Amino acid sequence: MKKNYVSNSQESVRMFKNNLLESLSKVHFTVPLIIFVPVILFCVYKDFQNEMGLITFFELFISGLFVWTITEYVMHRFVFHYVPEDKPWALRLHFIFHGVHHDYPSDVRRLVLPLSVSIPLATLFYFLFNAILPAGEIWGFFPGFILGYLIYDLTHYAIHHFNFKGSIWKRIKQHHMLHHYQDPNRGYGVSSPLWDKIFGSDFSKK
């Protein structure tokens, strides 16, 4: 993705003339917690109502977390960074979804997914997994998947606004900063560089 401009301002740039659309493109970083933590708790409650067993629950939960990591990578690499140069409407859509973040990486209101995106995506994934998984297993799998999403969102916010002390967090931040300021066509993992290493899109960090 070619960058013509990068601002380090924490202020939000206006993208829409319509006030409603503009408000739907922004969100405070705590809002996903308010919305999705109750979803996680409800799923856990439903799972134990079904008496799936503690071991089965944790197996499904960890599986959901794991599936999120590859989902995060695929979405970032193949959806958010899909830039069809010959279609102006698609370029505009790309800017709305992700290009604005690369031009304004410190925008405090656009570092986590707005509810106008996260709720429809969560709903879509719920029905997808519910159709694939055996009956009842969605209640153990889906809260792990949603927790992975929350970790991704909050990690992304923290990377852009906090100075980390621990070596692991420093490496995670370095990985994402290289994606922004060195090569946006590498380093698609935000909460983990795992899939970048597996698929050869990692940076050389010598």
Residue 93 has pLDDT above 50, yes or no: yes
Confidence of residue 1 (pLDDT cuts 50, 70, 90): very low
Which residue has better confidence, 54 or 37? Answer: 37
Mean pLDDT calculated for residue range 47-75: 93
Residue 37 has pLDDT above 80, yes or no: yes
* pLDDT score, position 206: 60
Mean pLDDT calculated for residue range 18-31: 88
* pLDDT score, position 101: 86
Residue 86 has pLDDT above 50, yes or no: yes
Mean pLDDT calculated for residue range 143-168: 92
- DSSP state letters, the chain: ---S------SPPP--SSHHHHHHT---TTHHHHHHHHHHHHHHHHHHHTT--HHHHHHHHHHHHHHHHHHHHHIIIIIIT---TT-HHHHHHHIIIIIHHHHSTT-TTSSS--HHHHHHHHHHHHHHHHHHSPTTTHHHHHHHHHHHHHHHHHHHHHHHH----SHHHHHHHHHHHHHHHT-TTS---SS-SHHHHHHT-PPP--
Mean pLDDT calculated for residue range 90-95: 78
Mean pLDDT calculated for residue range 110-134: 94
Residue 165 has pLDDT above 80, yes or no: yes
